[in-house]
Amino acid sequence: MSSLQSKSMEVEQIKIKEPGRFQQFWRSFHRKKPAVISFYFVLLLFVIMIIGPFITPYDAAEPDYNSLLETPSLTHFFGTDEYGRDILSRIIAGAKISLSVSVSAVSLGAIIGTMLGLISGFIGKWVDKLIMRGCDVLFAFPDLILAIGIVAILGPGLKNVVIAVAFFSIPSFARIVRGATLEVKEMLFVEAAESIGAGRMRIMLKHIFPETLPTIIVYFTMNVGTAILAAASLSFLGLGAEPSSPDWGAMLSVSRDYIGTAFHLVFFPGLIIFLTVLAFNLLGDGLREMLDPKMKD
Amino acid sequence: MGDILIEATNIKKHFPLKRGWFEEKRAVRAVDGISFQIKKGETFGLVGESGCGKSTTGRLLNGLIPVDSGEITFKGKDLSKLSRKEWKKYRQKMQMVFQDPFASLSPRMKIKDILKEPLDIHFKQMNSKEKDTLVMNLLEKCGISEFHLNKYPHEFSGGQRQRIGIARALILQPDLIIADEPVSALDVSIQSQILNLMKDLQKEFDLTYLFISHDLSVVEHISDRVGVMYLGDLVEVATKEKIFTDPKHPYTQALLSSIPQMDPTVKREPIILSGEIPSADNPPTGCKFHTRCPFATDECKQKVPDKQNIDDDQMVACHLYKS
C-alpha cells in the first residue's frame, strides 16, 4: 500500500513539471511571427526608455552649430537638425516621453473605464443607462477634437495631454468591459458565488473582473498605439510637449519647414512613430488571437 | 426524521416575456403555486421533464431569485419577505450544488481559494490556518487529496469538479443542500460514485437534500420522498416506495413506464403520451395535463384539480381520485 502511495506521489511529482499555463501560452505565442517581432520591438523601446540617457551618442539638447542639417552619415546615423542636434539621440530621448505619456494615459483611462464598465454591466438598470449614455456623448466627438478641447481648457503641457488622452479612452474601455461583464455575469459560477452568500463587490472583483482581464489587456495594448499617435498629434499642434523638447511629435512639428530641403528631419521621427504604433497594434492583434478562444483555430 | 426543515407554501414565479407595446402581457409560469415540505434529514427528490420548473424551484428556495408570491419557511422563519441582504445570513444554512461542474467553479481561482471563499464571507474572524485545516479535512472526505489544493478547476475531471462543488457547499456546515441535477452532466460510472458520496456525507453531517433531477433511476436511488412536477405544478408527492410501486397520477404512471426494464421477460406496456409538452407561457385550462392525459374528461378541461391527500404520505392533484 505504502509503495503504491509513493508511486502515485511520484506520478504527481512528474505532472508538476509539465509546462504551466504561462509556458504553454508563451510557446503558442511564438508561432505568431508579426506579434513576436512587435513584442520584441516594444520591449526594445521600453529598454531604451530606461537606459536611454546612457546610450545616446550625443546630448539630445546640445546644439552644434558646426554641423547644421547634416544628412545621415557614419557620425550622425540619422543626421542632424536645424540646430545641429543629433536626431538619433533625440529619438532615443523622445522614447521616454512618448511611452510614459501614452502608457500612463491609457492606464488611467483603463482603470476608470474598467470600473465604470464593471459597474455598468453588473448593476444594470438605470446605472447602466446613465454610464452608457455618458459614454455615447463622449463617443460623439472625434478623439482628437475631444483631446484638443480638453487641452484647450486645461492649458498645454504633457500632464494635460495625459489627462486628455486618458479621457477619450475611458468610454471605449467602459463599453468593452461592460460587454465582457454582461457575458460573464450569466455564467454559472457567478450564480454559485451568489449562492454561497458573496456580496456584489466580491462577485464583481473576484469573479467577473479576472474573466474580463484578457479583453482589457488586449485593448490596452492596442490603445497604447492610438495614444502615442494622439500624443504626437497634440505635440505636433503645439499643445503637448514644448517645441524644443525631444518629443517625436514636437520634432515633426518643428522640422516640417525643412521637408523640402532636408527630408531626414521629418522622416526619422515619422518612421519611429509609425513603427511604434504598428508594433503595439500587431502585438494587440496577436494577443487577441491568443486570448480570445473564439478566434483560436 | 420528523421536524420540518423547510416548507414552501403556494410559491409562484412568473417570468414576464418582453413583447411589443400593444400586445397583451404574458409570462412564463415557471413555478405556478406549489407547496411541499422537506423534513429534517430526508432526501426530497423533485422530478419532471425539462422546462417544468424544477430548477426554478431550487433557486426560489435558496433565494437566488425572489418569489412572486407564497411563503418559504425555513426552520420556522418566513424567508420570502426578507431583502436580499437579510437572506444572505440564511444562505449559510442552505447551499447549492449545481448541474454543470465545468461552469460552476470560477476558472481563474485555485481550488483552495474557491473552498475558502465561503469561509471568508461568513467567518471573517477565523484565521487562515483554521480555514486551511477545515478545507483540507472536507476535501479529503469528498475524495480529493490535499495535493490538488493549488490547482485550477480546468485541471480536474467532471467528477472531481463535482466533488469540489459538493465540498464548497458543505464547508459552511449547512442544514439543507439544494442539488440541482448534480449528476446529469457526468458519466454513468461517475454518477453512482457521486451519489454514494452524497449519501455518505448525508449520514455524516446530518444533511437534508432537495435533489432535483430528470433521471428517475437516480431519484429512486437517493430519495426518501419524491415530488413529480409538470408545467410548474406539483402533481404528485409521495414516499419513494409509493411513487415507484403504486403511482397514482397518470403523468407519474407515464413517466415510470418509460424507465427501461432490467428483466426482459417482464412485459410492461409503456404509456406513450401524445403530443408535446404545452408552452408554459400559455398553459392549458383546468388540469394542465388534460391535453395529454389518456383519462381526461370534460371536468379536467375546466376545473383545476385539488391537491388531495389520499393517504398520510401521498398527495395527488387529479380528478380521478376525488373522495
* pLDDT digits 0-9 by tens, A172-207: 999 999 999 998 888 888 888 888 888 888 888 888
Instruction: Verify whether the Cβ–Cβ distance A192 to B117 is below 8 Å.
Output: no
Instruction: Verify whether the Cβ–Cβ distance A197 to B105 is below 8 Å.
Output: no
Q: Which CATH architecture has domain A31-58+80-295?
A: Orthogonal Bundle (1.10)
Asked whether the ipTM of the predicted complex exceeds the cut of 0.90, the reply is no
Among A9-13, A104-108, B235-239, the least confident range:
A9-13
Taking the CA atoms of B130, B135, B140 and B144 in sequence, report the sign of the dihedral they define: negative
Instruction: Verify whether the Cβ–Cβ distance A196 to B106 is below 8 Å.
Output: no
Best mutation site among B65, B117, B155, B156 for testing chain A: the one with the most A CBs within 10 Å? B117
User: What mean pLDDT is predicted for residues B187-200?
Assistant: 87
Q: What are the chain B neighbours of A210 within 8 Å (beta carbons)? A: 106, 108-109
Buried/exposed code over B222-260 (b: 16+ C-beta within 10 A; e: otherwise): bbbbbbbbbbbbbbbbbbbebbbeebbbbbbebbbeeee
Residue B1 has pLDDT above 70, yes or no: no
pLDDT band with cut points at 50, 70 and 90 for residue A117: very high
Highest mean pLDDT among A162-166, B32-36, B230-234 belongs to A162-166
Q: Are A116 and A166 in contact (CB under 8 A)?
A: no
Please give the residue of chain B at the shortest CA–CA distance from A196. B118
User: What mean pLDDT is predicted for residues B278-291?
Assistant: 79
Q: What is the pLDDT of residue B259?
A: 75
Q: What is the pLDDT of residue A297?
A: 41
Mean pLDDT value across chain B: 82
Close Cβ partners of A18 (under 8 Å, ≥ 6 residues apart): none
Residue B223 has pLDDT above 70, yes or no: yes
Best mutation site among B82, B96, B104 for testing chain A: the one with the most A CBs within 10 Å? B104
Smallest Cα–Cα separation from A240: which of A124, A148, A130? A148
Instruction: Verify whether the Cβ–Cβ distance A196 to B95 is below 8 Å.
Output: yes
User: What mean pLDDT is predicted for residues B135-146?
Assistant: 84
Instruction: Verify whether the Cβ–Cβ distance A211 to B109 is below 8 Å.
Output: no
Q: What is the pLDDT of residue B21?
A: 66
Percentage of residues of chain B with pLDDT beyond 70 = 93
One-letter amino acid at A158 equals L
Best mutation site among B108, B115, B155 for testing chain A: the one with the most A CBs within 10 Å? B108
Distance CA(B53)–CA(B76), nearest Å, equals: 25
For A3, B70, B231, B278, the CA distances from B289, given in Å and listed in that order, are: 61, 23, 8, 9
Pull the grid cell for residue B240: 419513494
Residue B49 has pLDDT above 90, yes or no: no
Pull the grid cell for residue A163: 489627462
Please give the residue of chain B at the shortest CA–CA distance from A210. B108
Write out pLDDT tens, residues A201-227.
Answer: 888 888 889 888 888 988 899 899 889
Task: Specify the length of chain B in residues.
Answer: 323
Q: What are the chain A neighbours of B101 within 8 Å (beta carbons)? A: none
Backbone angles phi, psi at A244, to 5 degrees: -80, -15
pLDDT band with cut points at 50, 70 and 90 for residue B82: confident
Instruction: Verify whether the Cβ–Cβ distance B122 to A197 is below 8 Å.
Output: yes
The hierarchical CATH code for the domain B4-93+172-321 is: 3.40.50.300
- Least CB–CB distance from A197: residue in B92, B106, B152: B92
pLDDT band with cut points at 50, 70 and 90 for residue A133: very high
CA dihedral A119, A125, A131, A134 (to 10 degrees): 170
B36 forms beta bridges with B8
Separation in Å, CA of A12 to nearest CA in chain B:
8
Please give the residue of chain B at the shortest CA–CA distance from A197. B88
Distance CA(A258)–CA(A265), nearest Å, equals: 7
User: What mean pLDDT is predicted for residues B256-275?
Assistant: 72
Helix (H, G, I), strand (E, B) or coil at B296: coil
- pTM for this structure? 0.79
Q: What are the chain B neighbours of A189 within 8 Å (beta carbons)? A: 103-107
Q: What is the pLDDT of residue B129?
A: 84
Q: What are the chain A neighbours of B169 within 8 Å (beta carbons)? A: 196
Q: What is the pLDDT of residue A14?
A: 47
Smallest Cα–Cα separation from A251: which of A278, A222, A271? A271
For B81, B85, B206, the CA distances from B73, given in Å and listed in that order, are: 10, 17, 20
Q: What are the chain A neighbours of B157 within 8 Å (beta carbons)? A: none
Indicate the domain borders of chain B: 4-93+172-321
Residue B128 has pLDDT above 60, yes or no: yes
- Least CB–CB distance from B168: residue in A188, A196, A210: A196
Distance CA(B142)–CA(B197), nearest Å, equals: 7
Write out pLDDT tens, residues A282-294.
Answer: 998 888 887 765 5
Distance CA(A168)–CA(A109), nearest Å, equals: 8
Higher pLDDT, B175 or A293: B175
